[in-house]
Every structure is written in structure tokens, then in C-alpha cells.
Amino acid sequence: MLLCAAAAQPRALAWGDEPPDGGTQQLPAEWDQVVRDAPMTAEEFGAMTLPDWLGRLGDQLKRGWERPVRLLAKLCGLLLLAAVGQSLCADRSSPELLGLVDTVSALAVFLLCSAPLLTLTEALGGAVQASRAYIVTFVPVFASVLTACGQTGGAVLYSGFFFSAAILAADLLCRVGLPFLRMLLAMTAAGAASGTQTLPRLTAAVCKWTKWLLTLCATVFGALIGLQSVFAQSADSVALKTGKFLLGSGIPVVGHAISDAMGSVLAGMKLVKGSVGFALIAVIVSAFLPVLLQCCAYQLVFAAGELAATAFGAQRSGRLLAGLADCVGIFVSMLLFFVLVVVFATLLLVLLGTA
């Protein structure tokens, strides 16, 4: 560990002395590549002001909310048309015929909503796959940075437990979560077409339990990686202090100077660690934020559509839209689960050992 820190000394010192533009050229190629690939560097992030954030948020909202708002307008038009039509038919002579018209309007509502939902599913799957591929290349790089910072325990934890958990979470989301979501959407459609009460209730219960399960998994993962990080950090701190003490007391005359220089080197390396760790957070957030905003927008649209359908007396369409809103809620939960797993673990290892 000490050898690693010593080996990184000239590079880190050079990085610290150079201006920010040319400074990253002194980093190892892999580290430099990771920092360059990020959509935003830690320095840019730190320099951003509130108007900059608001401007970026406005751009994202413009891009992400245009289609949901159009869908809401279409939904309102369709529901209003169905309400006008149903009000012309009397339900005293043939309630079954009127129920059939309600089914037809619910089917039209589902078909209107299914295309954006399929696109959203594909976008979520694509974001998870892209993040998985990035994590596979990022983890060894960040583990080497952690090792150079003297956090060997943290590096082992990151390249072992975190890497396995992140890959497992990504694979589970892609291979189990998304097919499960598609099945839930199909069940919601079948419930709307059949008019039975059982399927929507079952779908709502499954959605509730899935959210509960995801919350539990995120909490357990957070607790485990938090505890393990703290323990690993304690061991790393002891090793570092012992090393410094041995250097300071074991080598005559220049021992203290070397020990102090090593402290400076480690401080510089921690800056690099922050930059590299921030790169992953920036990549993950930039991959998932547009999908998250769209999910939130669609959830709001479906909730508003449910209100409109209930107000217009289209009961089946209302139940269908409530089911779709629940399904999009699971989209949001899955997305937040994955983002929290990756960002929390990385942030924890960036923050630990900075004291």
C-alpha cells in the first residue's frame, strides 16, 4: 500500500501543480480516460450556480415532458369523446351494450398508452445495460485509485462486494425486473379488457409488494456496504498511521520528512479519487435522470387521466389508468434502487478516508 502511494507520488504532485486543463494529462491513462468520458467533471459541478442548475433542469423538463403532456391531451380527448358517446346511450334498456362501449374506450386508452410505456421499458433497459457496461470498466480503475489512496480495504470491498452487487442488480433488473414489468402491464391490459375486478386488485397488490421488496433490498444493501466500508476504513487508517509512524521513527533524519511528504501525496490522491468517483456518479445520473423525469411525467399523466376518467364516468378506463400509474411507479422504484446502490456505494468510498 505504501509502495503504491510512493509510486503515485510524482504523478499526483505533478497533477496538483499543473493547471486543471493540462493536469489530467499526468494521470494514468485509465484514470484520465474515466475522467474525460464523464459528462461533467467535479470542477464543473462545483462551479455551477443556481441559474445554471435551473437552466439544465428546464432543458431536461422540456425534452422529457413534451410527449407525456401530448399523451395527456390525447387521453383527455379520448375520454371526453367516450363520455359524450356514453351519455347519448341510455343504460336502462341495455346496460351490457353500454358496458361494451366502456370496454372499447378502455381498450383505446390502453393502446394509446402502450406505445410510450414500451418505449420507456426499452429506455430503462438500455440505461441499465449501458451503466452495467460502464461499471465493468470503471470498478477496476476506481479500485486502483482507492489502492493508491491507501484504502486497500475499500478497494477490495468496491471490487468485490459492490461490483458483484451492482452487476447482480443490473442483471436482475434486465432479466427479471423488466419482463416482470411487461407481465404486469399485460395483466393490467387483460384486466381492462375483461372488466374483472380481481386482476386490477392483484396487479395493485403485486406493485405494492414489489416496491416494498425493492426498498428492503436497498436498505439491506446500504446497511451492509455502509458497515463494511466503515470497518475497512478503520483498518486502512490503522495501517496508514502505522506506516507513517514506522517511516517517521524507523528511518533516521529524513523519516519525518518522508512521512509528511506521504501525507501530502495522499491528500492529492484523494482529490483524484473524488474526480474519478464523481465521473461514475455523473455518468449514472446523466444516463438515468432523463428516464426518471419521463417516468415521473408519465406517472403524473396517468394519475391525472385516472381522475379525468373517474370524473367522466369511464370506470374501466379509470381502473386501467390507475394500474398503469402503479406500473410506472415500479419503473421509478427500480430506477431509484439501481441508482442508489451505485451512487451510495461510490459516494461512501469517496467520502470515507478524506479526513
Partner 1 sequence: MEIFKILGLCLCALVLLDVLRQYGPTFAVLAALACCAALLALAARALEPVFAFAQRLSQLSGSEHFGAVCKAVAIALLAQSVQDLCQQAGQTALAGRVELAGKAAVLLAALPLFTALADTLLALLG
**Site residues, partner 1 (CB under 8 A):** 73-74, 77-78, 80-82, 84-86, 88-90, 93-94, 96-98, 100-101, 103-105, 107-108, 110-112, 114, 118, 182-183, 185-186, 189-190, 193
Interatomic CA distance for residues 355 and 351, integer angstroms: 8
Cell numbers for 221: 444493501
Nearest alpha carbon to residue 147 among 273, 17, 38, 59:
273
User: Which one, 40 or 104, has the nearer CB to partner 1?
Assistant: 104
Q: What are phi and psi of 164, to 5 degrees?
A: -60, -45
Min dist. Cβ of residue 116 to partner 1 (A): 12
Nearest distance, CB of residue 225 and partner 1, angstroms? 34
CB of 340 to partner 1, least distance (A): 27
Task: Round to whole Å and give the CA distance between 327 and 347.
Answer: 30
Minimum CB distance to partner 1, residue 236 (Å): 49
In terms of C-beta density within 10 A (0-12 exposed, 13-18 middle, 19 or more buried), how is residue 294 classed? Answer: buried
* Least distance between partner 1 and beta carbon 117 (Å): 9
- Of the candidates 130, 157, 344, 134, the one whose C-alpha atom is nearest the C-alpha of residue 235 is 157
- Taking the least distance from each CB to partner 1, the nearer of 21 and 96 is 96
344: which residues sit within 8 A by CB, 6+ positions away?
222, 225
Retrieve residue 338's grid coordinates: 439501481
Taking the least distance from each CB to partner 1, the nearer of 60 and 86 is 86
Report the 3 state secondary structure along 108-159: HHHHHHHHHHHHHHHHHHHHHHHHHHHHHHHHHHHHHHHHHCCCHHHHHHHH
Task: State the minimum distance, in angstroms, from the CB of residue 336 to partner 1.
Answer: 23
- Least Å distance, CB 119 to partner 1, is 11
Q: Categorise residue 40: left if φ over 0, alpha if ψ from -120 to 50, beta otherwise.
A: beta
Q: Closer CB to partner 1, residue 28 or residue 85?
A: 85
Q: Which is nearer to partner 1, 187 or 293 (CB)?
A: 187
Helix, coil or strand: residue 208: helix
Residue with cell 478497494: 155
Which cell numbers hold the place of 253? 533524519
Toward partner 1, which CB reaches closer, 181 or 269?
181
CB-wise, 25 or 94, nearer to partner 1? 94
